[in-house]
Chain A
């Protein structure tokens, strides 16, 4: 038994590289964002879909706070507050207001079943995930995560170099899965929400790899989103006004 125990202890004392607590929690939130993206496939009610979007945006805002604390970038607190106000409160409010006119509550069913869509999205997301892995963008290779690089020692504020590769891969997966959502769903609202979540994926990637990006750029992105919301709002209104439905299935003719 003693031999067995020491044999096991050898495994236990030298486990493969463990991400730091910051890296781990950042990755957990990235995974959460991706899971919420997958949750949208399951959601049939438009209201619940908007709620999921709000939850996803909240997760991204929390990640901004974590990055701000870990990397010591105070501007990110401002960004977190702004993105929470805009994406968790204002955008869902606007979307709900837009939907109030339409009497439809149930999203047009997708072209595929839920389980099939999820499996398809897993494959597409995996493609994005592993593509990022092979690109070698990340500055820290897997397995050397614990080794703090000298030029990063300052910026990471003693928390150790967190490998952004996983979170970046997850952000890529979020973007691609959002595309799947937009392609598979046949109603304007789901497609709009898919577009908004795509923006969440992009801001996730921005937070992970470019935390020191100037605040003005990030805020500009947020206002871009606001423009998109207004455009989609108008689009949804007009579409519903013309066709008395939110479904895009009838949009088969191209008009000049």
Chain B
């Protein structure tokens, strides 16, 4: 290994630290862009960090009758979100040792576990809003999860493995890989799933007050203080993780560090931030140009994503995808 190179475990940790540290910032940029598009000045970009700091200083309360699980859930969820960056290409184009702990499906399972834990904690509270949110999240999740499965099938058929690193390398290898319909369809399906999972506009309003259309946003209603901060931070991390999977595996796996030199890694961090912000701008534009779907129309949205993913697998099946 060249002199002056960072040790591999350090890069491995840097992947986690990058996601954890940059996630609230990406949320802040999206909120700012969204506000500018609506002609408002908007909050500071660093506002999410201030929010987290403020919440951490506050008192933590639990509803009467809630068991230990209510308080454990935010910790479990954040642990899950901190684990996934070990499995996906965040900074490097070459696989890091712990990247073999789990494949893209394994990463999906860990994200699903986090969401399940939060949903169970919401059920603990006895609050109607939180329960409604978790019930809806699981209902629509039953349609969104198969989409992720089919996207994974596409990856598996394209690369012969289900490692995210392998797909990223395949996409980089030639232009033919980018225009092949299976790749475009899987990317589009994954993008729609991301809109659903991060609670963006065709599915629900991301910011705002209490309302009956809430899904993801309603679940941490009863949490407070540092626990609420963990949940908010966790959902920001989930957003950045999903962005990273879409960008570094499917859409734009460029700008990743090919070596372990510090300079390359710094460039990779900057590139990831830039790409995530660009994707965030796209999502902010979508947020401002569409209306929220009625709750019962969300199945149509999910059916659309499912259609894209299934077509991706079909086209691959006959060898022409």
Contact = CB atoms under 8 A, between A and B. Distances in A.
Residue from A19, A25, A130 whose CB has the most chain B CB atoms within 10 Å: A19
A1 B8 contact: yes
Interface string A202-233: 00000000000000000000000000000000
A112 to B, nearest CB: 12
Contacts of A8: 95, 161, 163, 165-166, 169
B180 interface: yes
Given A1-B95, A35-B308, A165-B319, 10 more contacts: A4-B100, A8-B163, A11-B166, A16-B160, A18-B174, A27-B181, A31-B184, A122-B306, A129-B314, A166-B315
Contact of A21 (B100, B179, B300): B179
B164 to A, nearest CB: 11
Interface residues of B, number: 43
Nearest to A13: B173
Interface stretch (A90-98, A113-121, A179-187, A237-245): A113-121
7 contacts: A16-B157, A18-B176, A28-B179, A38-B304, A42-B304, A115-B303, A118-B307
B97 interface: yes
B2 interface: no
B160 A145 contact: no
B161 A20 contact: no
Nearest to B319: A142
B321 interface: yes
Interface residues of A, number: 44
A20 B97 CA distance: 34
Contacts of A30: 181
A31 B315 contact: yes
B318 A142 contact: yes
A15 B181 contact: no
B194 interface: no
B33 to A, nearest CB: 28
Minimum-distance CB pairs A-B, first 6? A142-B319, A166-B320, A115-B303, A24-B179, A31-B181, A12-B169
B304 to A, nearest CB: 7
A167 B315 CA distance: 8
Given A11-B159, A129-B318, A115 B299 contact: yes
Per DSSP, are chain B's interface residues mostly helix, strand or loop, or mixed?
helix
A105 B176 CA distance: 43
A142 B94 contact: no
Interface of B: 8, 94-97, 100, 157-161, 163, 165-166, 169-170, 173-177, 179-181, 184-185, 299-300, 302-304, 306-308, 310-311, 314-315, 317-321
Contacts of B321: 19, 27, 166
Contacts of A42: 300, 304
B310 A122 contact: yes
Contacts of A110: none
Contact of A24 (B165, B169, B181): B181
A27 B184 CA distance: 11
Contact of B170 (A12, A118, A126, A141): A12
Given A19-B320, A143-B319, A12 B173 contact: yes
Contacts of B163: 8, 11
Interface in A23-64: 23-25, 27-28, 30-31, 34-35, 38, 42
A163 B310 contact: no
A140 to B, nearest CB: 8
B185 A163 contact: no
Given A4-B95, A115-B299, A163-B320, A15 B179 contact: no
Contact of A34 (B8, B96, B179, B311): B311
Contacts of B304: 38, 42, 118
A162 B95 CA distance: 33
Nearest to A38: B307
A18 B177 contact: yes
B315 to A, nearest CB: 5
Contacts of A119: 303, 306
B176 A21 contact: yes
A24 B180 contact: yes
A129 B181 CA distance: 15
Nearest to B310: A122
